[in-house]
Amino acid sequence: VNQKEFAGSIHGGNLCISCHADAEVIPHPQKLAPVSCGMCHRIETEIYLRSDHGRALARHKSEAATCTSCHGKTHTLLSSRNEKSPVHRKNLPQTCANCHADKEKMSKIQLSEKEPFDTYLHSVHGQSFKEGNRNAAICSDCHGTHDLHAASNPDSKIYRARVPATCGKCHENVQSVYNRSIHGKA
Model confidence pLDDT, tens digit, residues 21-77: 888 887 888 899 989 999 999 999 999 999 999 999 999 998 899 999 999 998 999
**Nearest Cα to 92, choosing from 59, 64, 69?**
69
Q: What is the mean pLDDT of the chain?
A: 93
User: How many whole angstroms separate alpha carbon 65 and alpha carbon 54?
Assistant: 8
Say yes or no to pLDDT of 127 above 90. yes
User: How many whole angstroms separate alpha carbon 119 and alpha carbon 42?
Assistant: 33
Radius of gyration of the CA atoms of the chain, in A: 19
User: Average pLDDT of 147-167?
Assistant: 95
User: How many whole angstroms separate alpha carbon 107 and alpha carbon 80?
Assistant: 30
Which residues have C-beta within 8 Å of that of residue 48, sequence separation ≥ 6?
A: 54, 67, 146, 147
Which of 61-75, 98-112, 116-130 is the least confident region? 98-112
Give the pLDDT score at 114: 84
User: How many whole angstroms separate alpha carbon 140 and alpha carbon 135?
Assistant: 12
Which residues have C-beta within 8 Å of that of residue 23, sequence separation ≥ 6?
A: 16, 17, 29, 32
Residue 120 CB-density burial (10 A; 0-12 exposed, 13-18 middle, 19+ buried):
buried
- 105 or 126, which is more confident? 126
User: How many whole angstroms separate alpha carbon 33 and alpha carbon 56?
Assistant: 22
